[in-house]
Amino acid sequence: MIKLNSKEIRERFLKFFKHRGHTLLSSASLVPENDPSVLFTTAGMQPLVPYLMGEKHPAGRRLANSQKCVRLTDIDEVGDQNHSTFFEMLGNWSLGDYFKNDSVEWSFLFLTSAEEGLGLDPKKIYVSIFAGDKDSPRDEESIFLWKKAFAKAGLDARVYGEETLEPADDNLKPSFRIFPLDKAENWWPTGGKHPGPQGPDTEIFFYWGNQEPNLAKERIGFNDKNFWEIWNNVFMEYSLQNGKYISLSQKNVDTGMGLERICAVFNGQKDIFLTDLYQPIIRIIEMESQLSYGQDEKITRSMRIIADHLRAVVFLLGDDSRLQPSNLGHGYVLRKLIRRVIRYQKVLNIPLENKNFFEQIARVIVENYAETYPELGRNFNYILEELKKEEERFHQTLDKGLREWEKISKKGSLTGEEAFLLFATYGFPLELTRELAAEKQIVIDEKSFREAFKKHQQVSRQGAEKRFRGGLIDDSYENVKLHTATHLLQSALRQVLGDKVEQKGSNITPERLRFDFSYPQKLSLEQIRKVEEIVNTAINSALPLNFLETNYEEAIQHGALGFFQNRYEKKVKVFTIGDPQKPFSKEICGGPHVKNTGELGHFKIIKEESTSAGIRRIKGILE
């Protein structure tokens, strides 16, 4: 039996693919660079979208890495054995190079080879493949390749539902190991409805049971607790554009394996929180609470939530994008995670005055990970400061909330709306309000609390949808102004440097804009001054903004700029700045924008640098 800790498993994975011609990339930021439609990087492929669509990657056609990811879709599941908000995704990619053959063979080899991989028992491995539909045929090639891979390991793998278990070879006992599933299960991105690169996938599962699975009751792909999905190999050969699947110019492979899960599988313990990725955190929680992990369901769940959320918070604060807890977008997620930690800290009776608790945990997380993700070390002080500030802010809110509670509860009763006010405005979880109410023998109308809660959820969901449609995560006025300034900047750059300038990315915080564009060399001081001057003249001319809705092709024909074709929906908005017949700027964009450039103030470029070959980056502010 080989023994490996999480660090060695990560390294083994990277080495395995490096040995097979892959260039190793460092993890991209948790905040997507060029994609304002999502808050966080949720998969290793996300930062690679332009290259999956055909753009040349400077590091070649075979890539691998371990990517920091945050997925919030499962936040309510966190607390069980295998869900987390933050996780690391190990991935290998072929950009129009190898396809299904090598992908399947290497995945199986990495999982089962004791020399180069993890030495897992092949009998524990089961797979699903795409069953086929009107858009794409059944994945016969993957069936063939999986049969071949299993056969090498002495297993006769059959397709569930289509083959019998009649032995063809007296020496081999056949078993159902290959499961055809439909688009809802075996397609990435899930369901095949998002624009952009995609395709059928084959997913690899580990079976936890001691004997063979009872397929009448247990089945992969149906959230069976005994089958854990450990690796997903996507064969990206399509792009969804204007509601149609179009064949990509190149066939890609995109794979992803969650490090936390594979470590648990490797350890033979069906609980990611028992791996060395979480154990140092859990030990601190045990020490501070004087309770034991595994002692009972409620305690274990609370410890898992604290460990998961604080790990996510440390990685988010430790990201070079310098996020801050707030009431909007990324900041809101940070705030919510931290407040949930405090709530479970209370469940475990760890005193809220224990100022050391967060710091101890942040410290072990950074110690464990800083070698792999050096930004955590760089930003360590920032992480501690922000954690402390947010904790203090929460205590202030709590104090205010308690005063409000004293006022409301004087009358000896509490409506659901009032309980909801304590929740929404002062961050009081219902449990806390219940406890306080019980002390005064007040009963809360929980039904009307739930109704108020539902109403609020609907409103905030609508808000979120609006934000996604608008394409901006944080539509505060400062951001909106900088967004409009970005359009002016692109136009000014093209006036000074020519059509070679094409937007490659944009990122806006309330303080500054950041704009990446193609251009082969450093800008001279004179060019920078000229660009600033053009932008400021446009601002001073108080130009109006207008938009109209059309489709992508038409927008381009009419001279609108739009460099993210694969991301646009059927209908696009075209924003013009200045006279719509002879505009200063015309771009496809979701908005929102200011009404008039006169609102912007004064524009200044504070930095001009290179990000990679042929790409320049400008940071600018409005004063």
The CB-of-43 to ligand SER minimum distance in angstroms stands at 3
- Taking the complex as a whole, the smallest distance from the CB of residue 234 to ligand SER amounts, in Å, to 5
* Number of residues in contact with ligand SER under rule CB under 6 A: 10
In 471-520, which residue ranges form alpha helices assigned H by DSSP? 477-497
Q: Least distance from C-beta 255 to ligand SER, angstroms?
A: 5
**52 contacts 252 by C-beta, under 8 angstroms:** yes
- Please name which of 46, 455, 81 lies closest in space to residue 234, comparing C-alpha atoms: 46
Q: Which is nearer to ligand SER, 220 or 299 (CB)?
A: 220
Q: How far is the CB of 55 from ligand SER (least distance, A)?
A: 18
Q: Is residue 43 at the binding interface for ligand SER, with CB under 6 A as the rule?
A: yes
Stretch that binds ligand SER, among 42-50, 155-163, 177-185, 282-290 (CB under 6 A): 42-50
Dihedral angle of Cα 476, 480, 482, 486, to the nearest 10 degrees: 150
> Which is nearer to ligand SER, 232 or 368 (by Cβ)?
232
**Would you give the binding string for ligand SER spanning residues 73-112, x where CB under 6 A is met?**
------------------x---------------------
Which amino acid, residue 9? I
Q: How many CA atoms lie within 13 A of 535 on its CB side?
A: 29
Per CB under 6 A, the segment of 38-46, 430-438, 548-556, 576-584 that binds ligand SER is 38-46
Question: In the complex with ligand SER, which residue's Cβ is closer, 49 or 545?
Answer: 49
CB of 83 to ligand SER, least distance (A): 15
Smallest distance from ligand SER to CB 595, Å: 40
End-to-end CA distance of the chain: 63
Binding window for ligand SER (CB under 6 A); candidates: 43-51, 138-146, 368-376, 569-577: 43-51
Which is nearest to 593 in space by CA: 487, 514, 463, 438?
487
By the rule CB under 6 A, 192 interacts with ligand SER: no
- Residue closer to ligand SER, measured from CB, 103 or 112: 103
- Closest Cα partner for 189 from 603, 586, 567? 567
Annotate 437-459 with b (16+ C-beta within 10 A) or e (fewer).
beeeebebbeeebeebbeeeeee
Nearer to ligand SER, 107 or 379 (CB): 107
| Token reading at 460 | 């905030």
Distance of CA 366 to the CA centre of its chain: 20
* Residue 416 contacts residue 451 (beta carbons within 8 Å): yes
Does 401 interact with ligand SER (rule: CB under 6 A)?
Answer: no
Which window, 253-261, 322-330, 522-530, 542-550, contacts ligand SER (CB under 6 A)? 253-261
1's CB contacts (< 8 A; 6+ apart) are 119
Q: Which of 150, 188, 228, 547 binds ligand SER (CB under 6 A)?
A: 188
Nearest Cα to Cα of residue 66 among 315, 334, 306: 315
Q: Which of 175, 232, 479, 509 binds ligand SER (CB under 6 A)?
A: 232
Nearest approach in angstroms of CB 179 to ligand SER is: 17
- Of 256-275, binders to ligand SER (CB under 6 A) are 256
At 519 the three-state DSSP class reads coil
DSSP E strands: which ranges in 338-407? none
Smallest distance from the beta carbon of 251 to ligand SER, in angstroms?
A: 15
Rg, C-alpha atoms of the chain: 27
- For residue 608, the Cα-to-chain-centroid distance in whole angstroms is 28
Which lies closer to ligand SER via its Cβ, residue 57 or residue 123?
A: 57
What angle (nearest 5°) sits at the alpha carbon of residue 321, between those of residues 318 and 326?
Answer: 85
Work out how close the CB of 82 gets to ligand SER at its nearest, in angstroms, rounded to a whole number. Answer: 15
Nearer to ligand SER, 188 or 420 (CB): 188
The answer to the question of residue 254 lying near ligand SER (CB under 6 A) is: yes
Q: Which residues of 475-510 are buried (b: 16+ CB within 10 A; e: fewer)?
A: bbeebbbbbbbbbbbbbbbbebbeeebebbbbbbbe
Closest CA to 228 of 82, 101, 362, 336: 82
Q: Does 505 bind ligand SER (CB under 6 A)?
A: no
How far apart are CB 15 and ligand SER at their closest, in Å? 19
Q: Helices (H), strands (E): how many in the chain? A: 17, 17
- Least gap, CB of 263 to ligand SER (angstroms): 17
Q: Residue 44 interacts with ligand SER (CB under 6 A)?
A: yes
Interacting span for ligand SER (CB under 6 A) from 56-64, 219-227, 254-262, 295-303: 254-262
Instruction: Please report how close the Cβ of residue 67 comes to ligand SER at its closest, in angstroms.
Output: 9
Site residues for ligand SER per CB under 6 A: 43-45, 91, 188, 232, 234, 254-256
